[in-house]
A and B are shown apart, each in its own frame.
Chain A
Amino acid sequence: MLKDISIGRYYDAESTLHRMDPRVKLILFAVYMTGVFMISKPEGILASFIVVLGLVVLSRIPFRVIIRSVRPIIFLMLFVFVINLLTMRDGRTILRFWIVRITDYGLERASVMTLRLFLLIVSTTLLLSLTTTPLKMADGLESLFAPLKKIRVPVHEMAMMMSIALRFIPTLVEETDKIMKAQASRGAEYDTGNIFVRAKGYASVLVPLFVSAFKRAEELAIAMEARCYRGGEGRTKLNPLKMRTSDYLWLVLLGIIAFVPVIVEILLEIG
């Protein structure tokens, strides 16, 4: 269960999407998500599919890598499909057995909802996790939300915490797994017994986990302090983010393309 975490599944490649400024990718992600929320017809989904296919080509990531990143949510996609298929009552009945009635409209809705979810997940992993290193992503977030520093939001600290957290999640996953097995071998119970037995079982995992996390945090704080970390002000970066002309061009171009599916739907409505 813990092994499913596909964090920092950064796929190294030389491509337009990899080179793109993380801020552009974050904005495009928000724009694309808004676009996906607004489409609801098969034609829009089809157009959106083509857009995502274009992104895949731009990212030069092999298909099997993308499919692998979708694998953990196949169950959820099936679930969404079945729920939509079975609960939609409108439309012409195309299949009926026992108490189940499947309508053509239900089939359409189920497909649209499932594919929309699929598109959203592929575009998220494509724009964010596969082509952007966690460090760049945190840098991008910090720079995008920098204006909030004016109202005393600790943007720098938050970005710093996020990049540290992203770096330590795999470590803690491994550790949690180890501790859980170790405590289970000593008789800790997680899935059996009454609530107090289980709570004690989980507490026996959490205490060593906390101890190790705090130890790491302590060491990290000392290491940061030794390198004169003093928070955000006056801190310089080795590779500062810099928007190039091509970044602006991609932002405008892909931003418009992200809304093509929505435009297709509106045109269909009118026409």
Chain B
Amino acid sequence: MIKVNNSEAGYAEAGSRSPISCREQNMSRTRRVAVGALLTAMATVLMYLEIPLPFMPAFLKYDLSEVPILIAAFAFGPLTAIVIELLKNLIMLAISNSTMGIGQLANFAAGVAFAGSAGLVYRYLKSRKGALISMLIGTIVLSVTTPLLNYYVFLELYARFMGFSTEAIIGMTQAVNQFVVDKRTLIVFAFVPFNLFKGLTVSLITFIVYKPISRLIHGNNCEV
């Protein structure tokens, strides 16, 4: 856990909470549900704030919804992160089923690879450095697994159920990124850099954000 001194966290008004947070075991369980739920809501909201990227085709969606999930992975462990990832995608599926669930499935797989592996590593390296290492490993796992899954599974699914043939996807990507000429270069010059970028920026933002809020996560500085 990244320890932050109370006085330097700078959100004084948020610190005025009731002092009962950590007396009971049961409280921690209820808190877990409540905090997990709010993080799910946040992840879903952030998924809507899509940020367009240069050199990347429009269908590669970049958003910050993994930030709350990564924080859940650090605070509660990888399983909670996976649960939140699942709930986020279920909610997205119910709100706008615009890719027949394929996009949600891909997002879920990517999130599990990223937050799951980062949470797992952090479990054994609970320090500031450990957090950095775990996020780096998460990024690497993300940029290895998702391009492979895209290559073997999701491109196939899109072609079958949405009629987005892989050639069309390559063509769209080629329009913004001239290195992409076939399926393999699509993976190497679009999917891998995209996921590397996503992993690194999400890690960077999580790292910036974690320090001021870490005190709030467990309530009154007690470890849950």
Contact = CB atoms under 8 A, between A and B. Distances in A.
A195 B201 CA distance: 9
18 contacts: A2-B49, A6-B95, A37-B161, A83-B164, A113-B162, A117-B100, A129-B94, A157-B33, A157-B83, A161-B40, A173-B45, A207-B209, A213-B68, A214-B213, A215-B14, A225-B26, A225-B27, A229-B30
B38 interface: yes
Interface residues of A, number: 69
A220 B64 CA distance: 25
Contacts of A124: 93-94, 97
B91 A162 contact: yes
B130 interface: no
Contacts of B51: 190, 198
A199 B208 CA distance: 9
A218 B34 contact: yes
A158 B68 CA distance: 17
Contacts, number: 190
When A and B form their complex, which 6 residue pairs have the shortest distance between CB atoms, in order from nearest? A164-B37, A165-B40, A113-B163, A221-B34, A161-B37, A214-B216
Given A161-B83, A224-B30, A121 B97 contact: yes
B34 A224 contact: yes
B156 to A, nearest CB: 14
A84 B171 CA distance: 13
B163 A84 contact: yes
Interface of A: 1-2, 4-7, 33, 36-37, 72-73, 76, 80, 83-84, 86-87, 109-110, 113, 117, 120-121, 124, 128-129, 137, 141, 154, 157-158, 160-162, 164-166, 168-169, 171-173, 176, 190, 195, 198-200, 202-203, 206-207, 209-211, 213-218, 220-222, 224-225, 229-231
Nearest to B84: A161
A195 B41 CA distance: 26
Nearest to A127: B94
A206 B91 contact: no
Interface of B (DSSP majority class): helix
Interface string B18-29: 101100101101
A211 B213 contact: yes
Contacts of B216: 210-211, 214-215, 218
B50 to A, nearest CB: 8
Contact of B31 (A73, A110, A218): A218
A218 B17 contact: yes
B90 interface: yes
A203 B203 CA distance: 11
Interface in B200-216: 201, 204-205, 208-209, 212-213, 216
B67 interface: yes
Interface size class of B (residues with CB under 8 A): 35 or more
A160 B165 CA distance: 40
A200 B162 contact: no
B33 A164 contact: yes
B92 to A, nearest CB: 10
Nearest to B27: A225
A206 B44 contact: no
Contact of A221 (B30, B39, B68, B171): B30
Contacts of B208: 199-200, 203
Contacts of B50: 1
A109 B38 contact: no
A1 B98 contact: no
B8 to A, nearest CB: 14
B167 interface: yes
B107 to A, nearest CB: 16
Given A161-B83, A222-B20, A117 B201 contact: no
B18 A165 contact: no
Contacts of A199: 201, 204-205, 208
Nearest to A26: B94
B45 A172 contact: yes
Contacts of A72: 96
A6 B97 CA distance: 12
B21 A218 contact: yes
Interface string B189-224: 000000000000100110011001100110100000
B179 interface: no
Contact of B87 (A162, A200, A222): A162
